Structure 1
Amino acid sequence: MTEYSVISDAEEFRAACAVLAAGTGPVAVDVERASGFRYSQRAYLVQVFRRDAGVFLFDPPAIGDFAPLQAAIGDVEWVPHAASQDLPSLRELHLEPNEIFDTELASRLLGHDRVGLAAVVEDTLGITLKKEHSAADWSTRPLPDSWLEYAALDVLHLIDVRDALVAELVEQDKTEFAAQEFAATLARAPKPPREDPWRRLSGLHQVRGARNLAVARALWEAREMYAQQQDVSPGRLVPDRSLVAAVMANPTSKQALAGVKEFQGRASRTQLDRWWQAIVDGRAAENLPRERVPSDTLPPPRAWADRNPEADARLKAARPVVEAVAEELGMPTENLLTPEYLRRIAWDLPGETAEEIAAALTALGARPWQIEQTAQKIAAAFVEAAQAPDTTSAPVS
């Protein structure tokens, strides 16, 4: 059995924070949410481990104010696994690291074949973890002992993993690569809200006509409001496919809506008045949505040969060059350079010199180490593509 302390009241919390403050070295931090069960992405458990302190499992709903924990560990390095997933939930509790070492991201840069937590622990330490409760409903109270044991193990070995990866980074001369990636992860701003989030309804492409789209929008908004009120994942109330089925069925009455076989979900019948009213509101809406929405998304590369043959030639010339650099460095291509960045500069050609390519990559968000490794080679590939006599080779996927 792993030794850990479950903290769920203010007095225990203050004492635990004092113990952590007196510990030594970095702090392993992890978060458990109830994704797929709850509407929010709030943390329902925060796990913390520090050498000479031990493992503490904090219950956010019971504790509330996490300021004492921030004061205790805020100035030391935090060690998460896949930090970008946990940082939003931690920040919601006003827990903010000044410095991180992301074991998942470090593993990617090092070229590990498997980068899940259990795999990284096994590869670096030879310890096998069971990942049997990762998709559990962590809003459950009381939490079962087996879940708590699982949560404790998520942080217990992270500091040892961190130390092993630090040594690997030194050996592969990638310490600076990792430092820049970690800093970029911390500095990355949250994605802005989508202008029309309802357009992400799965299956919406089947819906034709602005009026029907207005009904789909109204149903999505009604479900979203109810899900937020109940703190339940929207898809658990009524799945996307059921909302789209209701639109497609075009029911003439509440009873007809109830008779739509595909309109299912735990709230499809108990909240029938809500859904019918949404359909009525959508049919009466004056601000009809556009059927086609302008987008700055690039066309798929397979269409480039016809739509922008020069860009197509540039991408075909540069992509294998970037892939070769990634292979030489022993890391996935997407960690060397975000594929979208390469597509952007191939499509919009900021210039043919390395300096112009570097400036464009910087504006897109590439890190200095990535630019240093790729800009000159991309520039050379673009020049070669411009000089090639034939730019109409088969499209890439």
Structure 2
Amino acid sequence: MADHHVIATRDEYLEAVEAIAAGNGPVAVDAERASGFRYSQRAYLIQVFRRGSGTFLFDPPPIGRFDELNAAIADEEWVLHAATQDLTCLREVGLDPKHVFDTELAARLLGMPRVGLGTVVEELLGIHLAKEHSAADWSTRPLPEPWLVYAALDVELLPDLRDAIAALLEEQGKTGIAQQEFADELARDLKVVRSEPWRRLSGIHSIRGIRNLAVARELWLSRDELARTTDIAPGRLVPDASLTAAAKAMPETKRGLAALREFNGRASRTELDRWWEAIEAGRTTEDLPVMRGNGDTLPPPRAWADRNPEADARLKAARAAVTALSEELSIPIENLLTPETLRRVAWAPPAEIDAASIAAALAEWGARPWQIEATSQSIAQAFVEANQNGPETAEADS
């Protein structure tokens, strides 16, 4: 097999754009990042395949912007697998599709139990697709030839996979559903900024004490700054478990921090001054965090029976109804209606409960038209029955 050439100059890139524009049919696109190795989520390889054009492997950092390619294929359908994983890094370099066909999402809508690319390709096309390089450090240069073979296959099979899935969607009467879901993916804000991102620290819920929480926050922020500066994944500097352990232990001195066995990682000792400064900042700050994050988050469902028994009854009844619909339609329950949407409507339902009011409430929380059509009547009926039967019946049924 001939070596796969990586396009890394503007002149070669512009030649490739002309070739891709001259092809026919949908454009298969994929991107490889260095998640777990780098702080940024930028693309370190972008693969494109189009019938009549061939396969093209682009090295994004030296090429820069891909505006010319975007203009050449903007009106075509782009085929991606798990589009939401790649759209952000593609948009960073100017690749922003108007129409997508997401083979992973479509496979979910078909009710396939496993939707990884290798599994779906093997089931629908009968081709075994090895996935051993999916978690590789794609910022490596030069990229090994086996990695490039893997990357090329990822896009070369997508058009055939798209056609096979599209036929099944049509057969199951789900083409319109898929189109709504694809449009929602494109419209979704994939770069949501969290107000307190440090609360994503693994194990943070085990930390007791406001001052300990402040130390955890300062350690997380300090690590994040170092990770951003060095473009190294935070967990490769110091793992979450180490930050949590330090926040719980609250060492009295820098030497005590260094002696803490649980505080490890490649930068745990080389950056010891940084971590100690963060601990001291957490110890002395007057800007203390609250134990729970801000926002309009609902209590966990297990607490509903005590805090809002009527809502608990509605949720249990509606969840059973939506589960039954999910099985009937062969669509995973989380795709039929997100659990968060159902919880929101169950917690604060409309004053008058009927299919129309439930439909309006679902739409307010972002449900798509097909989801509303499929679930609103069943949810309304479940709410009415729950209100009539009361919390005791719901508890007995659960």
**Larger displacement relative to structure 2 (249-258 or 227-236):** 249-258
1:326 to partner: Cα distance: 1.7
Alignment of 1:311-350 (within 5 A): 311-350=311-350
SS class of match (1:134): coil
| CA deviation after TM superposition for structure 1 residue 254, in Å | 2.0
The verdict on how the C-alpha distance between 1:254 and 1:183 changes in structure 2, with shifts beyond 3 A counting, is: same
Deviation per residue, 1:272-321 (Å, 9 max, x gap): 11111222222232212223344422223233222222222222222222
> How far is 1:77 from its partner?
0.5
Aligned counterparts of 2:384 and 2:127: Cα–Cα separation in 1: 50
8 Å Cα contact 1:4-1:54 kept in structure 2: no
- The answer to whether the 8 A contact 2:25-2:51 is kept is yes
The equivalent residue for 1:261 is: 261
- The residue aligned with 1:241 is 241
Q: Distance in 1 between matches of 2:397 and 2:190?
A: 32
Q: Output the CA distance in 2 between the equivalents of 1:303 and 1:273.
A: 43
SS of the equivalent of 1:394 reads helix
Deviations 1:94-116 (A, max 9, x none): 21001000001111111112211
- Residue deviations 1:110-144, cap 9 Å, x none? 11122110111111111110000001000100000
- Equivalent residue letter for 1:364: W
Greater alpha carbon shift after TM alignment, 178-187 vs 299-308: 299-308
Equivalents in 2 of 1:206, 1:84: separation in Å?
Answer: 31
Shift of the alpha carbon at 1:383? 1.5
Specify every segment of 5 or more residues in structure 2 that has no aligned partner in the other structure, as ranges.
none
Letter in 2 for 1:379: A
Pick closer, same or farther for the CA change 1:321–1:210 going to 2, 3 Å: closer
Instruction: Give yes or no for the alignment of 1:100 onto 2:133.
Output: no
Matches within 5 A, 1:1-397: 1=1, 4-350=4-350, 351-388=352-389, 391-394=392-395
How far does residue 209 in structure 1 lie from its aligned partner after superposition?
A: 2.6
Distance 2:74 2:336 in 1: 30
CA contact (8 A) 1:215 1:278 kept: yes
Distance 1:257 1:312 in 2: 46
TM-score, structure 2 normalization: 0.95
Q: Specify every segment of 5 or more residues in structure 1 that has no aligned partner in the other structure, as ranges.
A: none
Seen in structure 2, the aligned counterparts of structure 1 residues 270 and 54 have a Cα distance that, compared at 3 Å, is same
Aligned residue-pair number: 397
Query: Residues 302 and 395 of structure 1 are in contact (CA less than 8 Å); yes or no, is this contact kept in structure 2?
Result: no
**Equivalent pair of 1:28/1:80 in contact (CA under 8 Å):** yes
Q: Distance in 2 between the 1:270 and 1:361 partners? A: 52
Cα distance in 2 between the residues matched to 1:83 and 1:222: 32
Give the RMSD, CA atoms, in angstroms.
1.7
**TM-score of the aligned structures, taking structure 1 as reference length:** 0.95
- Matched residue SS, 1:292: coil
Quick check: 125-134 or 251-260, which moved more?
Answer: 251-260
Identity %: 64
Distance (whole Å) between structure 2 residues aligned to residue 385 and residue 131 of structure 1? 47
Distance change in 2, residues 1:87/1:353 (3 Å): same
Q: Secondary structure at the match of 1:101?
A: strand
